Structure 1
Amino acid sequence: MDRIENAQMNSQGTRKLYYENVHQTDFTAVVMECVPDKEEGYYRIVLDASAFFPEEGGQSADKGTLNGQEVLDVSIKQGILYHKMTCELPAGTEVTGHVDWNRRFDFMQQHSGEHMISGLLHSHFGLENVGFHLSDREVTLDMNGEVSLEQLRLIEQEANAYVWKNLPVNISWPSSEELLSLNYRSKLALTENVRIVEIPGVDLCACCAPHVDTTGQIGLIKIVNVQSHRGGVRINILCGGRALADYTEKQDSVWAISSLLSAKQPEVADAVVRVKEDARQQKERANALQAELLKVQMNALPSPEETCHVLLFVGELDAIALRNAVNSLTEKYSGYCGIFAGDDANGYRFIVGSSSCNCQELATRMRQEFQAKGGGSAPMIQGNVGATAEALRKMWETL
């Protein structure tokens, strides 16, 4: 029995044309049912046959049109495909369908690449794929154990070596008896109508989704991220066109950074480290100078006999230095002692303290008059405000 007959025999409900010919994008079919969803304002169209792969097995549905109208989504229930649309297609109507091939092939590249990575992780380290997600934006696979970055790079190299060998991707529908002799990967315990995807020497897995004909059609497999996830790891991959687009985007960034730093491309990381270190040292020097200036400003303030409330405006200064300065002022002045760091254009970070006044009352007033944000306690408050220095000085004069 050939592949098409197997597919037809194992299909139930809607005839699934994507199992008969994964490359078929245009088809005609008859509407069997058109169910309105009054709450959502959509129609769910059932056809006698469809080339649209539904959302299933962690993969998003195909996109395309029926009679030129957009198919918003495709779902499956008990073997029946439901095409979500905004227009009504009455039962008995013959329709023309079109599947977006670029999206279909992109998903085929990603899914086949995922099988290769998952299969190799299983054969080398005994890891099981316990979660898979494929959408327009990302491809993730969740493994039930830890794997190091070095191990993943070896897996990536091996997977791409198999890509370049252009191995066949075989599809079969084994009988229940034949399944008993197969050591295949599956998240669920399956006994009948099982579709097996085989990449010789790489992976054997139960899967419902369309795949490439040969591994060479994947083009390239790239692991782009890995992180701990529920006792194992979540791996992000990109394959084929997505991998090329990602490389192009990152290459453009490297070119731009290389030009900005006047560094050769392989040396941009070291150049960034040097720039960061220079910036850190410059910031330390600026903070030291600002702290010295703050001391001069504090010494120039009126004496405690002349005023009990004091206010200072400074440039950017770290929070510890601001807090220490305010604490020093509260030992000398009995009223509100405030320091505002920043400028009128970008706003100010502030710390206000007092040894005898309730700073929370001042915080309330600043919120009411200037929409200031922040908080604290009676002895000290801190936050941000977008008022001008002149407006803040006028308020201080009324304290």
Structure 2
Amino acid sequence: MTTEKLFYQDPYIKSFSAQILQSRKDEQGRYYVVLDQTAFYPTGGGQPHDTGTINDVQVYDVEEVEGEVRHFVDTPIEEKECVGEIDLGRRFDHMQQHAGQHILTAAFEEMYGYKTVSFHLGKEICAIDLEIPALQEEEANNVEDRVNAIILENRPIEARWVTANEIDNFPLRKDLSVKENIRLVIIPDFDYNGCGGTHPNSTGQVSSVKILHWEKQKNSIRVHFICGNRVLKQLHEKHQVIQRLNALLSAPQEDLEAATNHVKEQQKSLEKTVSELKTELMEEEAHGLIDQATTMENDRLVKKVYKERPMNELQQLAKHITKKADSIMVLLVSEKDDKLQVVCARSQDIDMNMKELIASVLPKINGRGGGNAMIAQGGGDNILSPEAFIEEMMSKLVHGQSC
């Protein structure tokens, strides 16, 4: 069931009347209608679909299935006649981006022989993939200048239907993917390309093209760019950010990079100082815990319960203690929400396996852990109080079950 495509007759069309030929659900349960004619562009050729309304019902997707253009709607439409309204702002944005891509791709090929192998028209940013291993900044700048010169010349953009026999009359940029219903988009003396998308009538309506950045993408270079009104939008957003940074860093735009580097260096220095102070505090804490250690047979024992203390701090504290004192064992537990975390450690002169100790008690809290003979750690559910869990570990020590 073929639908007449009004957007090829007039890409600027905003409203139209049509007959509803079908009103159905697809395999996913989505409502859709098929019209005898439509101005809604379906997704295809790298260009997203149009949106709008049919009889005031929102059209959120448009797809073409074997010539049948399906308009997906929020609720079923039962009327036989309808009026469609296109979101022309969205449509014109897509026209600007698509035409801008044609000009950008043609300029890369004209100036450097770089071929485009794919195109993506995103909601905010567009991209083309160039079949090259690297792109130089000078090349990108030169291409951008050429593109905007073509735009400023306001050359016509012509869409033309041709037959297979007429193809040889045009210097096509790449081979066609179809052999019938061939539609060419032409910028005279610059670009000739098979395309089924919508475009403005002249290059001047693209307004401008700005290359934003590029990156390596497998075996190609992905060039990110924007066209038309998106350039102004990005300029406005970036200017707003720069103004806020001017105030935050007390620096004009030309000095923002230096000011940012200065802040980063200050941050590194402060982070180093904080780390050194934390180490000093932990050493003092270790001394204090050693002084408070209790005697257990021939050894000393440090045991302590904390609230929401990170595991890495428990490990560091245990290491400080066992390095500073002989004949000492450490049992540290931290309680957080419904979890317990534990670290056990010993000094070099004690013959006891901490990994075996923690493995013997963690099942009591449905826990798991690991480590070595000197220091081990683990965690589990808070089904015992931290104090009761330490008592369990001490019981294993006293009865020698960790050996």
Structure 1 gaps of 5+ residues are: 1-11
2:109 is aligned with what amino acid? H
1:183 to 171, 190, 199: 171
TM-aligned CA deviation for residue 396 of structure 1:
5.1
Identity of aligned residues (%): 26
Q: Deviations over 1:237-258 (max 9, x none)?
A: 2212222222222211111111
* Deviations, residues 323-360 of structure 1 (Å, cap 9, x unaligned): 666445345465345598xx999x99997645632375
CA distance in 2, matches of 1:220, 1:282: 45
Return the alpha-carbon distance in structure 1 between the equivalents of residues 48 and 361 of structure 2.
51
Choose the corresponding residue for 1:377, options 366, 371, 383: 371
C-alpha contact 2:49 2:62 (8 A) present in aligned 1:
yes
Assess, with a 3 A threshold, how the Cα gap between structure 1 residues 204 and 333 changes in structure 2: closer, same or farther. Answer: farther
| 301, 309, 315: which one aligns with 1:308 | 301
d(CA) in 2 for partners of 1:33, 1:273: 63
* Secondary structure at the counterpart of residue 209 of structure 1: coil
What does 1:232-251 correspond to in 2, within 5 Å?
232-251=220-239
Give the corresponding residue for 1:26: 15
Match of 2:63 among 55, 61, 75: 75
Quick one: which amino acid aligns to residue 112 of structure 2? F
Q: Give the whole-Å Cα distance in 2 for the aligned partners of 1:367 and 1:128.
A: 63
Provide the rounded CA distance (Å) in 2 between the counterparts of 1:137 and 1:198: 26
> What is the CA-CA distance between 1:170 and the residue it aligns to?
1.8
SS in 2 for 1:157: helix
Query: What is the CA–CA distance in structure 1 between the aligned matches of 2:151 and 2:32, rounded to whole Å?
Result: 39
Once the two structures are superposed, what CA deviation does each residue of 1:88-147 show, in whole Å capped at 9, x if it has no partner?
3348x1211111100001111111111122122222332332222224244222222233
Distance 1:348 1:237, change over 3 A: farther
For residue 35 of structure 1, what is the aligned residue in structure 2?
A: 24
2:401 aligns with none
Gaps spanning 5+ residues in structure 2: where? 347-351, 394-403
1:126-165 residue pairs with structure 2 within 5 A? 126-150=113-137, 151-165=139-153
Q: Give CA-to-partner distance per residue, 1:227-284, whole Å, 9 cap, x none.
A: 2112102222221222222222221111111101111112111101100101111221
Measured in 2, the distance between the counterparts of 1:171 and 1:218 equals 16
3-state secondary structure, aligned to 1:59: coil
Q: Tell me, in whole angstroms, the C-alpha distance in 1 between the residues paired with 2:228 and 2:379.
A: 48
Change (3 A) 1:32 1:261: same
> 1:244 corresponds to which letter in structure 2?
L
Could you tell me which of 165, 171, 178 is aligned with 2:159? Answer: 171
Once superposed, what is the RMSD of the aligned Cα atoms? 3.8
Once the two structures are superposed, what CA deviation does each residue of 1:151-178 show, in whole Å capped at 9, x if it has no partner?
Answer: 2232223212222222221211232222
Q: CA separation in 2, counterparts of 1:349 and 1:273? A: 39
Given the superposition, is the C-alpha separation of residues 353 and 187 from structure 1 closer, same or farther in structure 2, using an over 3 Å criterion? farther
SS class of match (2:329): coil
Q: Secondary structure of the residue that 1:195 maps to in structure 2?
A: strand
Cα distance in 1 for residues equivalent to 2:176 and 2:327: 73
Contact 2:362 2:369 in 1 (8 A): no
Could you tell which deviates more after superposition, 99-108 or 175-184?
175-184
Match of 1:335 in 2: 329
Superposition map of 1:271-350 within 5 A: 271-302=259-290, 306=295, 307-311=300-304, 326-331=318-323, 332=326, 334-336=328-330, 338=332
Provide closer, same or farther for how the CA distance between residues 171 and 367 of structure 1 changes in structure 2, counting only shifts above 3 A.
Answer: farther
Aligned: 1:211 with 2:199 = yes
Q: Which moved more, 1:136-145 or 1:237-246?
A: 136-145
- Residue 357 (structure 1) aligned to one of 342, 354, 357: 354
2:52 corresponds to 1:64: yes
Corresponding residue for residue 241 of structure 2: 253
**1:175-216 per-position Cα deviation (integer Å, ceiling 9, x unaligned):** 222212433234753333221112234432211110111222
Q: Is the 8 A contact 2:340 2:386 kept in 1?
A: no
Match of 1:221 in 2: 209
**Change over 3 Å in CA distance of 1:308–1:318 after alignment to 2:** closer
Structure with max Cα Rg: 2
Amino acid of the residue matched to residue 130 of structure 2? M
Distance 1:29 1:291, change over 3 A: same
Amino acid at match of 1:236: H
Q: How many residues align?
A: 375
1:45-67 CA-to-partner distances (Å, cap 9, x unmatched) read 11111101001112210001111
Mapped partners of 1:256, 1:363: distance in 2: 55
